[in-house]
Structure 1
Amino acid sequence: MPPAARVLDDTDHAILRELTQDGRLTNSELAARVGIAPSTCHARVRALVSTGVITGFHAEIDPAATGRQLEALIAIRLHAHARGGLRAFQRYLSELPATRRVYFVSGERDFLVHVAVADSAGLRRLVGDTLSVREEVAATNTSIIFEHVPGIRTAL
């Protein structure tokens, strides 16, 4: 069943809220926080994963800790003739070493790419020598990220 077709109840929402806050909770801790038996909790989480509601578990890494102190959002507009290759270009963007996230968006731009690089020279190379020179790229607009606002989570 696709995630959009699965009806989530209050217990599912409670599980998702807790996992959004701390994806490392043990099953016993999660069950206690939600107020259900550990066996029920395990079955619920397994069902949320198998139906695609939970798409994965991951660690969030501070890019600065890995030598990538500068983050930016790059808005990219493709030429009209390149629109047939949107998926291929999206794959290309996602495979760039600096890429953290790729968003296919509506409006004036086609993609919004969150990147992390070592410094301003690295960002200039990425935009000027890697992205802007691609024949399908009509324009880019880069915004440097000064700060992330911590603690914002998806409302469930």
Structure 2
Amino acid sequence: MNALDRKILAALEEDGRLTVTELADRVGLSLSPCHRRVRALEASGVIRGYRAELDPAALGLEFAALVFVTLNDSRSVADFEAAVAALDNVIQAQRLFGDPDYLLHIVARDLPAFQRLYDERLTSLPGMKRMTSTLVMKDVVSNRPLTSAVD
């Protein structure tokens, strides 16, 4: 990947709805070479897809929590991960090194909705030894473009 590819990626991270013509203008390429580079970035998996960034509060999801989970043992990993993947309120789940084993980012309509999810679904996840949660006060950095981290 060269500097031109990074410019293409930065422009698409900023606005994924750019037409190839607009993108080519922004990065200083003609239409065909720009289109070929975008297709190559898609084919290689660097560009995984395109989607809209939604405002959780505008969708009525004004509550966010971080839930830390420690499992009983490694035999529960596959079942736990499958169960977490089936929970729509979990918008991000990460397996961690050390303790705890997982970090779940969860959204809900409000505190009572989160409490119901916690009591009815989270506490019954397979293989769970311990679960703690903390409430998100505000997002300080959110959805930062990855190209800003690439040298």
- Give the TM interval when normalised to the shorter protein: 0.7 to 0.9
How far the C-alpha of 1:130 sits from its partner, in A, is: 1.3
TM-score (norm 1): 0.85
Q: Distance in 2 between matches of 1:149 and 1:27?
A: 32
Aligned pairs (5 A) from 1:116-135 = 116-135=107-126
Query: Which blocks of at least 5 consecutive residues in structure 2 are unaligned?
Result: none
Q: What is the aligned-residue RMSD (CA, Å)? A: 1.7
Q: Percent identity?
A: 33
Specify the SS of the correspondent of 1:126.
helix
Q: Which runs of 4+ in 1 moved over 6 A?
A: none
In structure 2, C-alpha distance between the alignment counterparts of 1:104 and 1:150, rounded to whole Å: 21
Counterpart Cα distance in 2 of 1:147 and 1:138? 29
2: CA distance, partners of 1:136 / 1:28: 51
> Which residue, 37, 44, 57 being the options, matches 1:44?
37
The question of whether the paired residues in 2 share the 8 Å contact of 1:131 and 1:137 is answered with no
Report the equivalent of 1:4. none
Alignment length, in residue pairs? Answer: 147
Stretches of structure 1 lacking an aligned partner (at least 5 in a row): 1-7
Residue in structure 2 matching 1:92, options 83, 107, 128: 83
1:103 aligned onto 2:94: yes
| 1:30 lines up with 2:23 in the alignment | yes
- Partner secondary structure for residue 68 of structure 1: coil
Deviations 1:32-61 (A, max 9, x none): 111111111111111111111111111111
Report deviation, 1:84.
2.6
TM-score norm. by structure 2 comes to: 0.88
